[in-house]
A and B are shown apart, each in its own frame.
Chain A
């Protein structure tokens, strides 16, 4: 995945993959602690919160850790 991709773009991709309705919203979390802004770049999240060459994100339809 390119560094410049945004959280919003990722969220939309997952939403399409899971066949979400237009009004269903996806929450994406880093380290199970915060939900980054939709325009945040994935590359920045990887630099700051990645480990072992990976960035682990959690997604849910409702607010979990926010």
Chain B
């Protein structure tokens, strides 16, 4: 039987094969070859696509180059969402590799945030961790850490160093035995339809009488359409890191083992693929 710690490694090292192609409207000095790259599910697009940018800059004139942005089948890809979430939400029913289109002009201001440097990504990532700890521990654990500890979390993500990251992150996953779990579970539920970007509300890992809350309990409260009843046809999939966990899985366990490095459980609700 796999150890729970193996799950942490499997989540960290999840990869998605992608093929980057320059948009046909981009003016080039010569033909641009597509660029292939394995993308870490738990990272962010702007953190891992420097090579993509360098590759395409070689065939472009400097005056045609503005901030790079990426798009899949017409949908601008939000760099501040984890890569795995973007894939599961928009492209999981397509065949691999994930075909991403690269742009260097006409930045879609309404859809995307700018990302002028890695410190923007770091600030966003650290803010996510702090928000998650505000929910889990009333910020006590993250506030007790020193600045160098915060830096270690970021450096671990940036340099793909599992041990460096988890040496510090394990503190954010602790709780006292009398509590039985975190105060509230940090989660976000994404869907492909509708206006709102995601659902995020307060939800405890244990009920008032001490019963363990499961993934199914969370969904029945936040997104009942995702929980199919006996005999009904299943229309929606509940996906975390590209898999469908059993609805009976305790939410506290999911939070400790299937959270992203930002300490949030990112859950995608997608239509069941039609063959």
Residues of A near any B CB (own CB < 8 A):
4, 30-31, 33-39, 41, 44, 47-49, 66
Contacts and interface: CB of A to CB of B under 8 A. Distances in A.
Contacts of B202: 47-48
Contacts of B139: 31, 33
A48 B203 CA distance: 9
Contacts of B200: 44, 47-48
Interface of B: 80, 113, 123-124, 126-127, 130-131, 134-135, 139, 142-143, 184, 195-198, 200-202
Secondary structure of the A contact surface, majority rule: loop
A54 B80 CA distance: 28
30 contacts: A4-B195, A30-B131, A31-B134, A33-B130, A33-B134, A33-B139, A33-B143, A34-B127, A34-B131, A34-B134, A35-B123, A35-B127, A36-B127, A36-B131, A37-B80, A37-B113, A37-B127, A38-B113, A39-B80, A41-B196, A44-B198, A44-B200, A44-B201, A47-B200, A47-B202, A48-B201, A48-B202, A49-B134, A66-B123, A66-B127
Contacts of B195: 4
Nearest to A32: B139
A39 B124 CA distance: 12
B135 A48 contact: yes
Contacts of A44: 198, 200-201
B68 to A, nearest CB: 19
A35 to B, nearest CB: 5
Contacts, number: 45
A38 B200 CA distance: 16
Nearest to B139: A33
Nearest to B78: A39
Contacts of A34: 127, 130-131, 134
Contacts of A41: 196-197
Given A48-B200, A48-B202, A49-B134, A37 B143 contact: no
A35 B195 CA distance: 23
Contacts of B131: 30, 33-34, 36
B124 A37 contact: yes
Contacts of B143: 33
Contacts of B80: 37, 39
A4 B195 CA distance: 10
A66 B147 CA distance: 11
